[in-house]
Each structure stands twice: as C-alpha cells, then as structure tokens.
Amino acid sequence: MSLFGKKPAAEVEKRPDGLDRLPPGQYLTKKWPILSYERTPSGLPSDWKLKISGLVEQPFELTWEEFLALPHTTFTSDFHCVTSWSRYDNTWEGIHIREILQRAKPLPNAHFVMAHSWTGYTTNMPLKDLDDDDVMIVLKHDGQPLEADHGGPVRLLVPKLYAYKSAKWLDGLEFLEKDRPGFWEQRGYHNHADPWKEERFW
C-alpha cells in the first residue's frame, strides 16, 4: 500500500515534441497486420528501376544493384495505420530519403511528390513531409529482409503520416508543382494523413 492508498494515474507516454506517443483513436498491436489493395507481387520485376522524375535538376533511374550500393541506414519508429492500429518500435533498414534527394535536387517549384508502386498503387504528399529525418526507402524490418506482403523487397516509409503514404513495392518518386491525389486519396482517405490530427477521411 502506498501512503495515500492510491496509485498514481498512468503516465501517458509523450514524444519529444509533447504529443502523445499513441495518436488519438489508435490502439496498439504487437503483430504487424497486412493491408494491401492489390495482390502481393511475386518478387521484384526483372526490369525494376527506381525512377526519379519530374521537377528535379537531375532526373535519374537506378537499377537494383545501383540502388543497393547507396549508403544504408537504420532507425526505429512507430507505424500508424488509418484503420486504427499502431505498432511501436519498428527497426527499419534501408536507404535514407536524403540519399535520393541530394542526388535529384528538387527544383524550387517542386512542392509535392507522388510515390509510385510497380503494381500501380500511388500516394501523394508534400515534399516537406518526404524530405525529413525519419523517411527512408526500406529494405529490412526488425533485422529481416522486408517480407513481400509488407512491400518487400522495397517500400517507402513516412512514419509521421498514416501508413497509406508508405507505398509498398516502390519503383518511383515523381516531383510535382501541383498536388494530385493518389490511389486511396482519390477514394476518400485524407489527402494529408497526419495521425495526431486524425486526418483519416475527407
């Protein structure tokens, strides 16, 4: 028994910026659910290239080997799906987005980006959300090669937005002046998708 016969109220975990670690309306899961609109493709297409296009000084394409030769990085972040599950402490390994951005050099009028999957999926976001410390093109999750169902061998990760911005089976980033809605954004999911503002639908 404590002196006052009462336990302290459970502390809500906070992020460094003061927001709750768990965004509003989310619940925690330890499993990693699979959410895909399309069927999981059977591996990387033989002609896969990462295509960097649109409003950049230096458009380019990388073969799989060239892409893998870029410097790798690892970090840990939480992942939040618009269908309300969140998974904490995912360790991601891959190519930091700035490895791509520093080579491409987005032009001053590039304000938005469309991520493309070779399956046809697309998702859009402001360049300032892509150009951030915690954004990478993922190859491994929790030490294992990314499973095909989770976008393996290569997916985007934008952990501060709902997971539909993290395109699985990534094969392109297209830099745009004007915003254009991607696959789910055309079908009612919120254009921006900030979990702490509960930007789920629009």
Binding site for ligand MTE (CB under 6 A): 32-38, 81, 117, 119, 121, 150-151, 163-164, 166-169
Please tell me the distance from the alpha carbon of residue 147 to that of residue 167, in angstroms, as a whole number.
14
Q: CA-to-CA distance for 184 and 82, rounded, in angstroms?
A: 11
Q: Which residue has the tokens 């410097």?
A: 71
C-beta of 26 vs 173, nearer to Mo ion:
26
Question: Would you say 55 or 184 has its CB closer to ligand MTE?
Answer: 184
According to DSSP, the residues that pair with 89 across neighbouring strands are: none
Cis peptide before 153 (omega within 30 of 0): yes
Strand partners, 156: 137
For residues 49 and 138, give the distance between their C-alpha atoms in angstroms, rounded to a whole number: 15
Site for Mo ion in 138-177 (CB under 5 A): 163-164
Residue 33 beta carbon to Mo ion: minimum distance, rounded to whole angstroms: 9
Binding residues among 68-107 for Mo ion as defined by CB under 5 A: 81-82
Residue 202's binding partner, choosing from ligand MTE, Mo ion, none, with beta-carbon cut-off 5 to 8 A by kind? none
- Interface residues with Mo ion (CB under 5 A) are 35, 81-82, 163-164
